[in-house]
Amino acid sequence: MKTNFFYIILLIVALSSCTKETEKMSPGTIKIIPFDAKLSTTEFKVGEPVNFQMQGNADTILFYSGEFGKDYNYIKGREVTIEKPTLTIRTNSNYGEQKSLSILLSQNFNGDYSYSGINAATWKDMTSKFNIPTPTGATAINFTSAPVEITEFIEVDKPYYIAVRNDIKTSSTGNRPTQWYFYGTNGFAFTGLVNGSPTDISAFGDMGWKIAVNGYLGGELDGTRGPRVSPNNSSSPTSLFLARNSTSTEAMDAWAVTKVFSSKTNLGPDKGTIIKSAETALPLEKYTYMYSAPGEYNVTFQGRNKDGGRTLVQQKITVIP
């Protein structure tokens, strides 16, 4: 009897221990710590380490500092204004004295490249900025301008077109009509600044020049005579030939108009830095970063798991001088 009682006590103790171990190992009792990144303060000085205390875990972690090019808010692309658009031109005048060449810009041209469509638009005259020499007759004058910033002619965020025009007046004696070349080589440039760095807005051959003429007496323009892009009918010309009329003393109005240009450019998506890869099994406990310039930064950590789950942790910090 005593023996049986002893075994009963052992059985109760064993069952009790088993129950406690089962409770300890039960999945429902495991504490899941969400992925997070914490700071003790949100204000730092330039060059001071910013120590993020990481919690939880993710297979892959990307860090976006909030700096230019590293901001999660622009992962679908970043449009920025092209600052200080600047044009440098190269011309040649010959066989006349008329200062008939104009450099123009429009922001309400509707893309109708017919002569009437072009003239229906409002064109801002930029010619005086380039200081083009007055033609002197039979002597050819080759000229390359200084770089001219054309910002004052462009309303920010609105597209624009550029045109070169040779508006010849009738004259048989004195102040005779002039033919012009407008070159895209050895001096021509169309550039700007993006985030402080120089950039080419367009090469001459990519500007989409289209010719429209009123009053030409030489028959149908076919790209081999009269005003034209050169080489003849080229899809990537190196110059514009704004010829005189087929009867050289007669009036004629010739335009060469570009494709549309945007005052902005898309730099593509901002990118994050991988600070933990899926090959690293152990959780990341701390991440340190330093800022080199003052400002407010939207910091983002993106956690990615192999099952496709993603978690964003975002916070704003201030960096002072």
Residue 143 in this model has a pLDDT that exceeds 90? yes
| pLDDT, tens digit, 9 for 90 and up, residues 38-60 | 999 999 999 999 999 999 989 99
- In order of their start, the domains of the chain are 32-78+268-320 (2.60.40.10), 80-266 (no CATH)
Q: Which of 276, 295, 292 is nearest to 284 (CA)?
A: 276
Mean pLDDT score, 221-227: 90
Residue labelled with tokens 């017919």:
114
Rg (CA), the chain: 36
Question: Is 211:132 a contact under the CB 8 Å cutoff?
Answer: no
Confidence tier at 17 by pLDDT (50, 70, 90): very low
Residue 7 in this model has a pLDDT that exceeds 70? no
Residue 24 in this model has a pLDDT that exceeds 50? no
User: What SS3 state is found at 204?
Assistant: helix
pLDDT higher for 143 or 139? 143
Question: What distances in angstroms separate CA 98 from CA 125, 173, 176, 213, 242, one per listed residue?
Answer: 17, 12, 6, 18, 13
- Look over the chain and give the mean of its residue pLDDT values, rounded to a whole number: 90
| pLDDT, tens digit, 9 for 90 and up, residues 159-184 | 999 999 999 999 977 789 999 999 99
Q: Which of 196, 203, 202, 161 is nearest to 83 (CA)?
A: 196
Sign (positive/negative) of CA torsion 95, 99, 105, 108?
negative
Question: Is 175:73 a contact under the CB 8 Å cutoff?
Answer: no
Mean pLDDT score, 219-248: 92
Confidence tier at 232 by pLDDT (50, 70, 90): confident
For residue 30, the model assigns a pLDDT of 52
pLDDT higher for 243 or 16? 243
Question: Is 105:150 a contact under the CB 8 Å cutoff?
Answer: yes
Mean pLDDT score, 284-309: 95
- β-partners of residue 55 are 36
CA–chain centroid gap for 25, Å, is: 56
pLDDT higher for 173 or 31? 173
- β-partners of residue 13 are none
pLDDT higher for 61 or 280? 61
pLDDT above 90 covers what percent of the chain? 79
The C-alpha atoms of residue 51 and residue 54 are separated, in whole angstroms, by 9
